[in-house]
Amino acid sequence: MLTPTGRRSVPVEHLVELLDDVREARDRGHQRPLKAVIEGRRQRAATLELDDILDQTELASVRAHGHRRAELLSLGYHRVVAQRLDDRLVRQAGRRLRRWQAEGKLPAQIGAAWQTLLDSPREEIAAVISADSQLSRDLRQSTPFAGALSEQERARLLALVRTQGVLSPAAS
Amino acid sequence: MKPEELHHILQAAASLTDEDQFVVVGSQAIVFQATTVPAELTSSLEADIYPRNAPELADEIDGNLGEGSMFHHTYGYWAHGVRLQPHPSFAGGPPRAAAERGIPMSG
């Protein structure tokens, strides 16, 4: 990944997460733990189906406006996150939110809205990030749940959306 | 999005696609053109872009720099790869507000 200074690097957080997963796989007795982790991520991604994530009305709205396809992709991503939401994912999102706030990445109002939501019961967080409302769309534009799904799962979602003709012409 | 963040996105997109000219679509196009960027425009964390000479590579941008990606996760801002499709009312040229910028390749 290209950094702002032009260097290429892999984020430490991703390496640590991979290392943790590899250790867990080794502890479970896998002889080739890295391969087991990668295959496990692929298999989990392969279970994603668009029909389980977006309803027909939402899919039919794909041409409502030029940015709708990107909105549906974001909605689908967050619905998968909502299905899996646990304390660990909420803590990770909170850490990411605080880091972005400290780095001045988020406007104060948006950061405060996310902090209020992340302090709410898990069911409420899941409901808000899964909603196809303007408020939820605005919040998802600056989601701290980036990185909550694996790259394999993101790739699967993108492919599903493309296959269904859901991704993305220019805004008109 | 700050101008330097948009520049970072374009540098990363250039590195990813081996393309050196991009069209920025929508409100972020003004970030390039205005001497003073209105605060409303710096609140957006998303840039809609496509490679000027290879718009089919927009998928690569979504896949690597898009929402939820490692890039987004790390830097807090992200790119949406806009895919151009013919439109009956679209006679040619970039849609909505757009700015083009050549990106010096690095790395």
* Confidence label for A125 from pLDDT (cuts 50, 70 and 90): very high
Q: Chain B contact for A66, CB < 8 A?
A: yes
Residue spans per domain, chain B:
3-84+94-102
pTM: 0.80
Q: Per the CB < 8 Å rule, is B82 touching A170?
A: yes
Is residue A91 over pLDDT 90?
A: yes
More confident residue, B68 or A126: A126
Surface of B (60-99) touching A: CB under 8 A? 62-63, 66-78, 80-85, 87, 89-90, 94-96
Q: Please answer whether residues B101 and B10 qualify as being in contact, where contact means their C-beta atoms are separated by less than 8 angstroms.
A: yes
Tell me which residue of B22, B5, B24, B32 sits closest to B103, measured CA to CA: B22
Q: Per the CB < 8 Å rule, is B83 touching A169?
A: yes
Residue spans per domain, chain A:
11-47, 49-161
Q: Per the CB < 8 Å rule, is B43 touching A107?
A: yes
Q: Which residues of A touch B16 (CB under 8 A)?
A: 2
| Least confident interval from A8-22, B14-28, B35-49, B52-66 | B35-49
Is residue A108 over pLDDT 80?
A: yes
Is residue A107 over pLDDT 70?
A: yes
* Confidence label for A104 from pLDDT (cuts 50, 70 and 90): confident
Q: Please give, rounded to a whole number of angstroms, the shortest distance from the CA of B53 to a CA of chain A.
A: 15
As a whole number, the mean pLDDT across chain B is 78
Give all strands of the β-sheet with B21-25 in edge-to-edge order.
B78-81, B46-51, B21-25, B98-102
**pLDDT recorded at residue B30:** 79
